[in-house]
Structure 1
Amino acid sequence: MIRKIVLSNDPILRKKAKPVSKIDKKVKDLIKDLKDTLSVQKNPEGVGLAAPQIGKNLSIFLAKDRDFERVIINPEILKIQKNTTKEKVDKRKKEILEGCLSIPFYYGPLKRAPKVTVKYLDESEKTITETFEGFRAQIILHEIDHLEGVLFIDHIISEGKTLYKVEGDEWEEVELL
């Protein structure tokens, strides 16, 4: 079922998600809802969706990009690669404009870790340990933030970055207080 995506002012987005204790029919239905809801997001288009974004405070998210799709339940970050000195020299290559379906049409440059190893359960309750790199690492870290009650704008504000609002082809800088 396609669900309504909750917006940034909804308190559920600021709560730490509860771990999933059992993958039962309710959880499988929720996973289907995440897939259905993400698949219809076209303006803006999304590459990930966490259960809190559709009003369910559970530690589940879907990450999807072209030939990549993962359902991730109860993720635990095992290892996170920080940027090396060489990578710090060329900051522009590592910053990606990040947005969020719960804050539609707002984007900001974020530099997340280029590589992350995560242990999680998949839909069949199999424990998986997987390393994600580049854009996929960015998606995974963004969605894990949702499970921790953190939004990408929190990083934009704490790092003193610029937030942009997009209307059609126009990009407008947003003043953050």
Structure 2
Amino acid sequence: MPIREVLTYPNPLLKEISKEVTELTDDIKNIIKDLVDTMDATSHSTGIAAPQIGELVRIIAIDPGKNKKCKNHHGKRVLINPEIVKWEGLIQSREGCMSVPDYTGNVNRAEKVVVQFLDENLQPGAFEAEGFEAILLQHEIDHLDGILFIDRIISKRTDLFRRKKYK
């Protein structure tokens, strides 16, 4: 499948709420493949959500192991209709996003989460994540609800930063 273009802010599709997946159609299988291929094509991307490639369905792909600081994680996976059902603690994270390529920002996130989801065969699953993996899940699930990390910036005046460009 092709590597898809990642939509960037202010594309209005990024602010839409995605629909739940109820059956595993060929279209859904293609979206999953495109999501994973698009995430894998960028060395720095640890996650992507279907709305970022213009598909308003509740699917995310994550690969927390691409972050060298993330030692404990559940590996590369696709989550369909993911939902955070429990959270605890609060940590500040510096986040970036392929859909907001020119900025990073400080965001408050839960330190630990439990996520329920369907896998690529629509079988139910759940796991507990903490640290970077928990932050990644919250960031990607936000995309499914039309929320970008810049919507959660602690202070737009002091916690939003122009991304450094190295030549």
Q: TM-score range by the shorter chain?
A: 0.7 to 0.9
How far is the alpha carbon of 1:96 from its aligned partner? 2.3
2:137 aligns to what? 140
Q: 1:160 to 1:122 in 2, by over 3 A?
A: farther
CA offsets per residue over residues 134-166 of structure 1, 9 Å max, x none? 100000000110001100001116676511112
**Which amino acid letter does the alignment assign opposite residue 71 of structure 1?**
V
**Percent of residue pairs bearing the same amino acid type:** 40
Using the size of structure 2 for normalisation, the TM-score is: 0.88
User: What root-mean-square deviation, in Å, do the aligned CA atoms of Structure 1 and Structure 2 show?
Assistant: 1.8
The within-5 A match list for 1:65-144 is 65-66=64-65, 68-83=75-90, 94-144=91-141
2:33 aligns to what? 32
> Which runs of 5 or more structure 1 residues have no equivalent in the other structure?
84-93, 171-177
How far is the alpha carbon of 1:109 from its aligned partner? 1.6
Aligned counterparts of 2:42 and 2:166: Cα–Cα separation in 1: 19
Select the structure of larger CA radius of gyration. 1
Q: How many residues align?
A: 158
Aligned counterparts of 1:95 and 1:10: Cα–Cα separation in 2: 27
Using the size of structure 1 for normalisation, the TM-score is: 0.83
1:175 aligns to what? none
Q: Which structure dedicates a bigger proportion of its chain to helix?
A: 1
2:47 aligns to what? 48
1:16 aligns to what? 17
Aligned counterparts of 1:127 and 1:161: Cα–Cα separation in 2: 41
Where 1:95 maps in the other structure, the secondary structure is: strand
> Which runs of 5 or more structure 2 residues have no equivalent in the other structure?
66-72
